[in-house]
Structure 1
């Protein structure tokens, strides 16, 4: 029998078992709200004392509707499940049971098996385009894809971090059932699917919440990304917790990655989320809650959150590979080798120290946590796309040192994450792009260029004009990974390297990483570290890394050599720009 997957959200339009539809909108700034179903008479909604408007009425799936919140303003549902005409168009009542799942028995995969591949669905041809890449990713050794935000946004192209309707997959990538088909196919192939979600702000185009729910916002806690959100209010907390559960239960995502969690000022919300997820998810199913968190809040990782993106690891490796120290890389400019050793040994580099970039304390002790609590990466959408010209690391670092760092990424007990195209040494830039118009487009373009005025390479106003316009279609097209590079000699070498390293990880490491923890990590030379971890089976993994361009280090040979990135080396020597990994 086909199992239906349906999650009844507190707000939005939900089909009921008796054939009616329940509409619910939190609009505390309004005294009256009407439901306007296309080709039907407006219907008044009942208001409770907290400003929630509700109406249960006959309404079929596929019906288009809006809420009339003022005489001169009808808005889409903030909890809309489908927006076929974009964020300014009507919302659509959906029928989750109409999709016939082919993998209802899927239980996910243990976290220790995770090898993550971050991708942008729009650049890969929408949900169907991503679905067509799954076989090659599986063959490569990827076990999880992480999709950048898919919530509906203004225009037809966007990173996804300017979304305004968190429940509605953007129609630019396909229909909601196309997304389910992508996830269903991934599960059939044994791949997890993780969704990047944004709860710290709303985009500037198509967000009407200020017009009918001023209490949704907390103006005393604004962030870099916009007006603060009032997570302490139950309706707001539930709106986002329900969103997580909607993706996990109705779309069968295997996890979510919460963007910029540090901007969520109500710390109690995280505990509420974890408890609600634990109470709803089926017994035995693996579901993963991942954080991106500037606060380096190790307590959340101890309290049940699966893992955190380890920006410290990326940032210090970037400094060592490129020599760049401007912007947030300033935090890692002094003693980077020592910082890398701490990252490999304890997870976070900043564990309560003053961040010289912000002047504030950052982080908390993390050395007791297993290595799998940290997601390591050399590139992602942020650190690549936030560059003025979107250069990939392969254009900035020496080939030998990058090879060594790549081997560290894939053989470390931390969970590795690749950014789309990295597996073949992609050289296509990844730029910041959007699709705004008129004054908003001008403001975003000039704001982007002004942002880089403090960097030495762009202090000349004429030089800043060379920064691509985020709104131009060419900026989006240029950011699409060039698949022809896969067939070049360099591309084939990188693909073989990626496959080989991931095969080693799967054979020797993945089964024994659940509680793998560091024994030590020490500085052994200029840009050189030696790290050791104890795996679940009692074996000791050793990795010696030398990112120097001139200094050779002395090392002890491992009992079983897993990998050496050096083309030639003498016994017990670690040449410049190389890595040696082995087991004891």
Structure 2
């Protein structure tokens, strides 16, 4: 039974090849080294050909009327990269973890990683070799940066052009399945970062034969994807079925949708709504979590409860919490950071209510940003102090461990890892890795030059560069990518070992004290206040207890007023009954009053 509209179909009769190419009256098919054959033109722009001679392992490509050879846009494997032929692969796999049923969202502790930079091998199998470390750390979910096949041998992944084909430099599709299986055997979920707002600049042949783009919408990458124009039904299915494909054939536990604010759609049912609806319709037997990145802070996409089957999107990356903590820890106030500086109340608001900007004017944008979010549970937000963007978009890709004090970094970790929001660790953060994570890519020479030029122009706007960025790593050089490889040998040394012990302790405490209290937590659960510049945040937890945070996020000792009737869960820094020291954090719990 064929579950998807796009891509080859393997049966006892051979292989049915399909290409939706309404702009082409003729398409030829080449299988292996055989002569081309003309495909049959069917309804709605489909070109079909069933070959009894083809099977698993056959390589094929399509030839358009002008002679251009193109891969299958729904290729399952590209052994010779995005410009080469596609390969027919099996969707069968000998899964060892047969009883995996996923994990509830409240238990989620995410670890974001880049497959190429995470291990020395830089492959799916290389990730498997480090899964025991993540299990011992206490991670319950890994999130892979985009793996859709991209041009060249190295890329962040946001330039993918073949969304159904796992990046060939990382391994074969069965290697990705082996990674997901191995994670499940260790009790860890696997999330994929998917990009449905644009295609990369090299290797996307879709415009040659289909109405994939529309001039009705503009995005930072050019024309918008055609989700609401003529023949948009097929474009929508191409994207939505991709989400279903990863969940069904690879057993992934969730998707993180990149920059959904750039998905433009004037249809009666927005693509994001249809995608979530169709995913929910086929995943009733296990929890599948859908996460968005949304610059607009649109709270309408998020659910009103935790672990509810009728939710739309499970959670959103909470950039606001990152920004307020980053400004407090580093003192940086350039660019958008300026809107989060000099106001400790914004730290409290981001932790207690989710978004800092909930419709207020944001000076950096010159317009209002966000919607009210206090009615959402804290589990509708994913918090972090580092991720690929916030590190890699810096001029040198430098990490916080390179620029701030150990005390400040420990305080930030203690806040977000025990917050009721869902925490996300960026690879290597747990041992305060100082390896950079610069932007890197590998395009043809003319595109590489455009990338270098654009990078220089972008960085010239930052303080301190004065239009000169010669010392910044070349994003197209292999050395930039290699510099991002994790320093696993440093993990057990000096301060690195102390950070690793801290992260393990915090995660263990989260699992013991925070996670059990998240079930049933609702909206309007958080409140905040300031005692001078000391931040106080309180949450009403799902079990009726009150979780309390007191944080002094600067280098000055402040007056401290003891908390009555509480049990202290964790203290980072120095604290007495009268004073709270620099970079000090206190977590406490007030148990619910027993009813008689």
2:320 pairs, out of 312, 317, 324, with: 312
1:217 pairs, out of 193, 203, 213, with: 213
What RMSD in Å do the two structures reach over aligned CA positions?
Answer: 1.6
> For the structure 1 residues 205 and 83, does the alpha-carbon distance in structure 2 shift closer, same or farther, using more than 3 Å as the test?
same
The aligned residue for residue 63 of structure 1 is 58
The aligned residue for residue 479 of structure 1 is 484
Q: Which moved more, 1:120-129 or 1:397-406?
A: 397-406
CA deviations on 1:273-325 (whole Å, 9 max, x unpaired) are 111112222x3301100000112111110352111000111111111111212
Q: Which moved more, 1:288-297 or 1:338-347?
A: 338-347
Instruction: Give the C-alpha shift of residue 512 in structure 1.
Output: 2.0
Counterparts in 2 of 1:116-131, with a 5 A limit? 116-123=110-117, 124=119, 125-131=122-128
For 2:162, what is the secondary structure of its paired residue? strand
The aligned residue for residue 537 of structure 2 is 531
Alignment of 1:273 onto 2:267: no
Q: Which moved more, 1:178-187 or 1:504-513?
A: 504-513
Alignment of 1:23 onto 2:17: yes
Instruction: Give the C-alpha shift of residue 126 in structure 1.
Output: 1.0
2:546 pairs, out of 540, 543, 546, with: 540
For 1:241, what is the secondary structure of its paired residue? helix
Q: Is the 8 A contact 1:384 1:391 kept in 2?
A: yes
Alignment of 1:193 onto 2:182: no
> For the structure 1 residues 397 and 220, does the alpha-carbon distance in structure 2 shift closer, same or farther, using more than 3 Å as the test?
farther
Question: Aligned partners of 1:575 and 1:7: how far apart in 2?
Answer: 63
Instruction: Give the C-alpha shift of residue 422 in structure 1.
Output: 0.3
Q: Is the 8 A contact 2:106 2:379 kept in 1?
A: yes
The aligned residue for residue 594 of structure 2 is none
Alignment of 1:244 onto 2:234: no
1:564 pairs, out of 551, 558, 571, with: 571
Question: Aligned partners of 2:175 and 2:426: how far apart in 1?
Answer: 23
Q: Is the 8 A contact 1:390 1:431 kept in 2?
A: yes
Instruction: Give the C-alpha shift of residue 455 in structure 1.
Output: 1.1
For 1:194, what is the secondary structure of its paired residue? strand
Question: Aligned partners of 2:406 and 2:331: how far apart in 1?
Answer: 15
For 2:136, what is the secondary structure of its paired residue? helix
Counterparts in 2 of 1:339-418, with a 5 A limit? 339-418=346-425
Q: Is the 8 A contact 2:520 2:543 kept in 1?
A: no
Question: Aligned partners of 2:551 and 2:258: how far apart in 1?
Answer: 31
Instruction: Give the C-alpha shift of residue 71 in structure 1.
Output: 3.1
The aligned residue for residue 176 of structure 1 is 173
CA deviations on 1:390-421 (whole Å, 9 max, x unpaired) are 11012222222221111011100000000000
Instruction: Give the C-alpha shift of residue 7 in structure 1.
Output: 7.0
Question: Aligned partners of 2:428 and 2:91: how far apart in 1?
Answer: 34
Alignment of 1:103 onto 2:97: yes
Instruction: Give the C-alpha shift of residue 66 in structure 1.
Output: 0.8
Question: Aligned partners of 2:286 and 2:441: how far apart in 1?
Answer: 36
2:329 pairs, out of 303, 321, 326, with: 321
Question: Aligned partners of 1:19 and 1:522: how far apart in 2?
Answer: 69
TM-score (norm 1): 0.95
Instruction: Give the C-alpha shift of residue 437 in structure 1.
Output: 2.9
Question: Aligned partners of 2:260 and 2:249: how far apart in 1?
Answer: 24
Question: Aligned partners of 1:236 and 1:496: how far apart in 2?
Answer: 48
Q: Is the 8 A contact 1:384 1:392 kept in 2?
A: yes
Q: Which moved more, 1:48-57 or 1:300-309?
A: 48-57
For 2:301, what is the secondary structure of its paired residue? helix
The aligned residue for residue 146 of structure 1 is 143
> For the structure 1 residues 76 and 581, does the alpha-carbon distance in structure 2 shift closer, same or farther, using more than 3 Å as the test?
same
Question: Aligned partners of 1:9 and 1:553: how far apart in 2?
Answer: 63
Instruction: Give the C-alpha shift of residue 538 in structure 1.
Output: 1.4
For 2:570, what is the secondary structure of its paired residue? strand
The aligned residue for residue 550 of structure 1 is 556
Q: Is the 8 A contact 2:560 2:576 kept in 1?
A: no
Query: Structure 1: any 5+ residue segments left out of the alignment?
Result: 1-5
TM-score (norm 2): 0.93
Instruction: Give the C-alpha shift of residue 225 in structure 1.
Output: 3.2
Q: Which moved more, 1:196-205 or 1:512-521?
A: 512-521
Instruction: Give the C-alpha shift of residue 495 in structure 1.
Output: 0.7
Q: Which moved more, 1:548-557 or 1:489-498?
A: 548-557
Counterparts in 2 of 1:158-173, with a 5 A limit? 158-173=155-170
Question: Aligned partners of 2:2 and 2:545: how far apart in 1?
Answer: 44
Q: Is the 8 A contact 1:111 1:514 kept in 2?
A: no
Instruction: Give the C-alpha shift of residue 19 in structure 1.
Output: 3.7
Counterparts in 2 of 1:33-44, with a 5 A limit? 33-44=27-38
Q: Is the 8 A contact 1:21 1:60 kept in 2?
A: yes
Question: Aligned partners of 1:515 and 1:555: how far apart in 2?
Answer: 31
The aligned residue for residue 14 of structure 1 is 9
